[in-house]
Chains A and B, each alone.
Chain A
Amino acid sequence: QKEVEQNSGPLSVPEGAIASLNCTYSDRGSQSFFWYRQYSGKSPELIMSIYSNGDKEDGRFTAQLNKASQYVSLLIRDSQPSDSATYLCAVRGGYQKVTFGIGTKLQVIP
């Protein structure tokens, strides 16, 4: 079982719709959870971090964490073509160790 699992996609959504990206993790002791966005040919950049159960909102982005289910998600409201990218879920488990998922490719169709 991979430590951090994501569906590689692609996930296609129409412009203006809500995109829902999901991630599960195996280490119950995980402390911190992140979403990075990576445009094609570019490096990852952090867009959201979440540390406690519940929702965290930042503009059009909402991160959701459920530690009991070992599940973290990212919602993108009013999706724009510029949101088309690969979204990497990352989890900090043991001491200072951050593990990345393979990423979900999102395509927003105009």
Chain B
Amino acid sequence: DADVTQTPRNRITKTGKRIMLECSQTKGHDRMYWYRQDPGLGLRLIYYSFDVKDINKGEISDGYSVSRQAQAKFSLSLESAIPNQTALYFCATSPRGNTDTQYFGPGTRLTVL
């Protein structure tokens, strides 16, 4: 079984719709991250959370929000999706005290029409 799972794996939605991407992990890690990956731009950090009560904005948080429901769950929401949010989204985790190694989920391919 995968240690970091993401649902859905693929999603097509329309402009203006609200959408939630979910991430769950069984690695027992405290720290969780949401990235998006775009061709030519690489991986960019959207939000990160060091524990359930600690949530921080990354470099491109505008248009996104997150919820850390439990140590194992970290959700990313697009309140009103727009086409330039079309991208590959990755969730990642890392253990407390070691943010060097990040373990990535399989990714969610999101298309906003």
Chain A residues with CB under 8 Å of chain B are 4, 8, 32, 34, 42-46, 49, 88, 92, 96-98, 100-103
Stretch at the interface among B14-22, B68-76, B103-111: B103-111
Kindly report which residue of chain B lies nearest to residue A95, judged by CB atoms: B99
How many residue pairs bridge A and B at CB < 8 Å? 41
Q: Which residue of A lies closest to B39 (CB)?
A: A102
Known: A43-B90, A92-B100. 15 other contacts (CB 8 A): A34-B101, A42-B107, A43-B106, A43-B107, A44-B104, A46-B101, A46-B102, A49-B101, A96-B48, A96-B50, A97-B45, A98-B45, A100-B35, A100-B42, A100-B43
Which chain B residues border A102 with CB–CB below 8 Å?
40-42
B residues within 8 A CB of A46?
A: 101-102
The 9 closest A-B pairs by CB, nearest first: A43-B104, A102-B42, A100-B43, A100-B42, A96-B99, A46-B101, A44-B104, A32-B100, A43-B107
The answer to whether A8 and B101 have CB atoms under 8 Å apart is: no
On whether the beta carbons of B104 and A8 are closer than 8 Å, the reply is: no
Shortest beta-carbon distance from B59 to chain A in Å:
8
